[in-house]
Amino acid sequence: MVMSEAPEVQAALEEIESTAAELCGQRNAITAQLVELVVRLDTDDLWQSTGARSLEHWVAWKCGMSNQHAKDLVATAQRAAALPETMAGMAEGVISEDQVAVIARKAPDGMDHHFADLARSASVSQLRTALRIARQAQPPVPDPTPAPDPEPSTEDETSTPAPPVDPEGERQVSAWFDEFGTWNARVQLPAEEGAYADQALRAHKDALVQEWKDARKAAKAAGIEEISPPPFPTLADAYLRLCERGLDVAARERPHCDRTTVILHLDVESRAADLHLGPALTEAERRYLCCDATFETWFERDGEVIGAARVTRKIPRRLRRALERRDRCCRVPGCGATVGLHAHHLIHWEDGGPTELWNLALICPFHHRLHHRGIITIRGPAAELTVIDRRDRLLSGGSLARPPSGPFPEAPPYRHVDGERAQWKWYDPPKVRTPN
């Protein structure tokens, strides 16, 4: 025996569902407009002048979203041109943001019409299953470059065998600065030695990854919310760490060896600088290198050496701890990175800025480089730190969300899916044929 609900309960449910359908339809239409804005930001690279690490960082920062939500929105924006019917369905309010995000991430090219139509009656999980089946059903893409015909051998079986490979010829290391001032390296080692070098490189990456995880756990335990997490360590970061550890060991074993010191030549009048036996530096590179790095500066005038500065501009260990205690994370609004932070001199040491707490601020490497390149400007003192972009706009840590000043977009009520179990044995996805 099925008991009927009271009329007032039924009426309340109908009112709630009707209102929720209208709000969901409007939300989908509003999200479609937001995706159009993200497409403009991505197409014109406008986000790069705001101090954001990436387009995902801008969306998470300015729109008050989670990192995953921002990634889904950016993925949708980057596939919007290839999914016109799906995007039109979201603009009309009949396809939800999560449904579009799944299609944008997984749908093969040429299936926009099929999945835009399927999304009107399938849940998000059902869309994922259908997309997996559709991708598996696609024919393999033929290799456009046919294998070359084997050349006939002109040698007989009694010809002299090739000489053995010289093992020293397999051990080659070369390094150079190219015409753009970028340092390049090429390493070639035998298999057994290459395995040793590869293991050392990956061990340093594992150490950096563990530091990255520990720093995030510590930030979470301290109640620090990271709007955008620091960049995940790469093999390039591991290589730099390997070099730093090697320099530290060499400095302990041979404290007077100049090969362990980065030497900078600086003209006191023109402020032109170049690396010892290396390329010239831009003003941004010079100030970035001199801000918090181990180096030795030689002052020159008219090509003549007139003196040398102290070997390091590193922040003393105790002062660094006090700085970390005070700032906790990168001071640039909207960042919140906690790994690999630099101690930035607000008044540069070239301009007489002291290495004292009031003149220092923790800045992540990404924003430190942006500052010295002139994309953002960081001004002190540390207690009243301000950050502005290249258009002289003050950066703030809050999102752009505010009460709407106009009416909501017109959209039909969102019709939810039936929720019945899908019979996948009858599902026949279309196959996209690649042109010959």
424 Cβ contact list (under 8 Å, min separation 6): 129, 130, 133
C-alpha triplet 362, 363, 368: angle, nearest 5°: 145
pLDDT for 61: 86
pTM of the model as a whole: 0.59
What is each CA distance from 140 to 109, 312, 431, 433, in whole angstroms? 14, 58, 11, 10
- Reduced to 3 states (helix: H, G, I; strand: E, B; else coil), residue 174 is strand
Q: Taking a C-beta distance cutoff of 8 angstroms, is the pair 396, 61 a contact?
A: no
**DSSP code of residue 417:** -
The tens place of each residue's pLDDT in the chain, 436 residues long, gives 445 567 888 888 888 888 888 888 889 999 999 999 999 988 877 888 777 888 898 898 888 888 889 999 999 999 999 999 999 999 988 999 999 999 998 888 888 999 999 988 888 888 888 888 888 877 665 555 555 555 544 444 444 444 444 444 567 888 877 766 678 888 887 776 777 788 888 888 898 888 888 888 877 777 766 656 677 888 888 888 888 887 777 666 655 444 445 677 777 677 777 777 677 777 777 777 666 555 667 777 777 776 665 544 567 788 888 988 898 888 988 887 887 788 888 888 667 778 888 989 999 888 888 888 888 899 888 888 999 888 888 887 766 666 766 777 777 777 777 667 777 777 777 776 555 5
**Which residues, other chains included, contact 148 with Cβ-Cβ below 8 Å and sequence gap of 6+?**
none
User: Which residue from 401, 342, 391 is spatially nearest to 51, judged by alpha carbons?
Assistant: 391
